[in-house]
Chain A
Amino acid sequence: MTEPIRSPERPRVALFELASCAGCQLQILNCEDELLDLLQLVEFVYFKEAMTETSDSYELALIEGAVTRESDEEKLRHIREKAALVVTIGSCAYPVGVPGLKNAHDPVEVGSLVYGEDAGFFPTIEAKPVDAVIPVDLHILGCPIHKDDFMRVLTALLIGKNPPVPTHAVCVECRLKENVCAFDRGLVCLGPITRAGCGALCPSYGSRCFGCRGLCDDPNVASMEALLEEKGKTAEEIMAEYGLYNGYYSRRDGGLKAKVAR
């Protein structure tokens, strides 16, 4: 009777990639020191593409990237059926980061800009977060994710504990770092409504929060917008501000406020 909390099996983990830069996978591969430990805890089955044969068997599916093609949606539904747990990694998968930027533009225009004459062969749809297609158990957030975050989630899942996901805003971590607030540096910042967990990375390096981790649990979006307006931002500028990472939800009816109400 030692170490009573861990289940004896080594769960199988599969990784899938949708539209993304693969930067988050790189973060996992960068867990050099921890990787050896990690491989004792889980069995890693790396898939670049979703397989449809019956051989694909895994308990935990990690999904990187945003949904940008009809075929992605099928792929996701298949994964959801196979996996006990679906966990997204990175801002592309949720709340849709860089791949979502194109949403603000006409899809035909985007298509011909990227693929020129061949645009017709690459049908793309509006970039969506994974949870707009299938239920997701957990989002590991960030652009890119932080390896410590990834390891913490994995160990928690292994001992059957709810992974520690902060519910509060980036400001909490930012103040603990004694950063000079972006608002006191003449900038605006989405920290007050963005989910913590990054250690207020961007403000700590003299920048500001762009909202890459999506909304926190209890954001006061109305007050945030009033604050941005007070700082001289127009309604369009506020939308552009959200658009960087929270575009998918802020462009729906009612904007981010409606997302909160849901």
Chain B
Amino acid sequence: MIDRVVAKTDLIRSIDRLAHEQSVFAPVANGPQFSFKVISSAEEVAEGYLPTALPPSKHLLPPREALLRFAWHDELAVEPVIEATETVAFGLRPCDLHALELLDAIFVDDKDDGHYRARREAAFFVGIECLEPCDDHCFCESMGSLRADSGFDVLLTDLGDTYYVRVESTKGRDFVLAVDGAHEAVYEDRTRLRKAHEGRDAAFTPRLDVAMEHLPALLAESSDSLLWDVLGEKCLSCGACTNVCPTCYCFDVRDELNLDMKSGERVRTWDSCQLEEFAMVGTGESFRKPREMRVKHRFNRKGRYIFERYGRMGCVGCGRCARACLVDIDPVEVFNQLKGRPVER
């Protein structure tokens, strides 16, 4: 499709209009942090934000979601809850776009999960490229997720007072054509885009000592590493790392009965493999009780299991888990130490 260029002010005005008409989900500042929220005006949108506290996946796979509703009237009646609101997700970073594509591969392509799919199909993604590292924790470049090539309707690149808009869907075309003064990208625009990309490529340096393709093998051969014990001693099992991770999607399912005792919902809620109860069975036995086993499991999911199953990395290098961890468990350190860097106790 034809790429366009829009003035920033025009795009913001367009977002503002949209925000008054429909649900627009965008990053908003919260003290030093940022969160995706449904905005009511474009003023709320934070520019140049760090990866949000919770990932944008919370829109497609909410932390708490009803799957079924049931009630006993004359008979027991059970119905699925499949609800979706048309939503524009504005300002998705490349790392998050990669993570959302992984979730699509799992919940749509593989599982055909109608609850997820309804929301995914009602969502419109406006991506925004990163031209410099967001902070010291990010390592998207090493995980192959700095460059977004798919998974969005439009992708913005900041060219100063304009955005270069890459258009990938008809919905995306309609979106950009609705922006005042949008014009087709011409040779000069493409040159500026290329310059921006060159600047980006220079600004990001690899942070992992191991090539992404070799992570699965590295993890497979590191099963007995002492590093897991060191991490297991430190880890608080607080679940912060999994809650904030854009590729984490494990969940619990349980029934909630209303006070009338005649109706209720079956809900799914985010869960975490870092919690002792996660692998515990009715008889009280936990199949992943030692903390080091749980930490090891998380890193293996991120760098190995997901890749082996879905052909995409389970970590996009957004650095959220490292930012959130109170005891400084950081995937960059972990992978590099497995690769041979000394471990500090």
Touching chains A and B, CB distance < 8 Å: yes
- B259 — nearest CB in chain A belongs to which residue? A37
Report if A158 contacts B (CB, 8 A): yes
Q: Judge whether A227 and B327 touch: CB under 8 Å.
A: yes
Query: Would you mind naming 12 contact pairs between A and B with Cβ atoms under 8 Å apart?
Result: A2-B76, A37-B259, A167-B276, A176-B243, A181-B324, A191-B238, A193-B236, A218-B237, A220-B235, A220-B291, A227-B236, A227-B326
A94-132 contact mask (Cβ, 8 Å, vs B): 1 or 0? 000000000000000000000000000000000000000
Give the chain A neighbours of B243 by CB distance below 8 A. 172, 175-176
With a CB–CB cut-off of 8 A, which chain A residues contact B272? 168, 172
What is the interface of chain B mostly: helix, strand, loop, or mixed? loop
B35 x A178 contact (CB < 8 A): yes
Across the interface, which residues of A come within 8 angstroms of B35, CB to CB? 178
**Which A residues touch B52, using CB under 8 A?**
178
Docked Cα-Cα span, A178 to B272, in Å, equals: 16
Judge whether A41 is part of the interface by a CB distance below 8 angstroms: yes
- Indicate which residue in B53, B72, B235 contacts A175 across the interface (CB closer than 8 Å): B53
Interface string of B273-300 (1 = CB under 8 A from A): 0011100000000000001000000000
Residues of B bordering A, CB below 8 Å: 30-33, 35, 52-54, 63, 72-76, 233-240, 243-244, 254, 257, 259-262, 270, 272, 275-277, 291, 324, 326-327
Does the CB pair B233–A218 fall under 8 Å?
Answer: no
Instruction: Give Cα distance in the complex from A168 to B243, angstroms.
Output: 13
Task: State A158–B54 Cα separation when bound (angstroms).
Answer: 36
Task: Enumerate chain A residues within 8 angstroms of B262, measured Cβ to Cβ.
Answer: 2-3
Tally of A interface residues using CB under 8 Å: 36
Q: Tell me how far the C-beta of A175 lies from the nearest C-beta in chain B, rounded to whole angstroms.
A: 4
Task: Given A180-B33, A218-B276, A220-B291, check contact A155 B261 (CB 8 Å).
Answer: yes
With A168-B277, A172-B239, A217-B276: A223-B244 Cβ-Cβ less than 8 Å:
no
For B236, list chain A residues within 8 Å (CB).
Answer: 169, 171, 192-193, 219-220, 223-224, 227
CA distance A175 to B321 in the complex (A): 11
On whether the beta carbons of B233 and A222 are closer than 8 Å, the reply is yes
| 8 Å CB contact of A167 from B31, B72, B277, B291 | B277
A164 touches B254 (CB 8 A): yes
Across chains A and B, which 4 residue pairs bring their CB atoms closest together, nearest first? A171-B238, A178-B53, A218-B276, A175-B243
- Cβ-based interface call for A6 (8 A): yes
Which residue of chain A is the closest to B272 with respect to CB atoms?
A: A172
**CB neighbours of B276 from chain A (8 A):** 167-168, 217-218
The CB with the most chain A CB atoms within 10 A, among B30, B237, B260, B327, is that of B237
Tell me whether A29 is interfacial, beta carbon within 8 Å.
no
- The answer to whether B244 and A175 touch across the interface, beta carbons within 8 angstroms, is yes
Contacts of B257 in A (CB 8 A): 155, 159
- Tell me if A46 counts as interface (CB < 8 A to partner B): no
A47 in the interface (beta carbon within 8 A): no
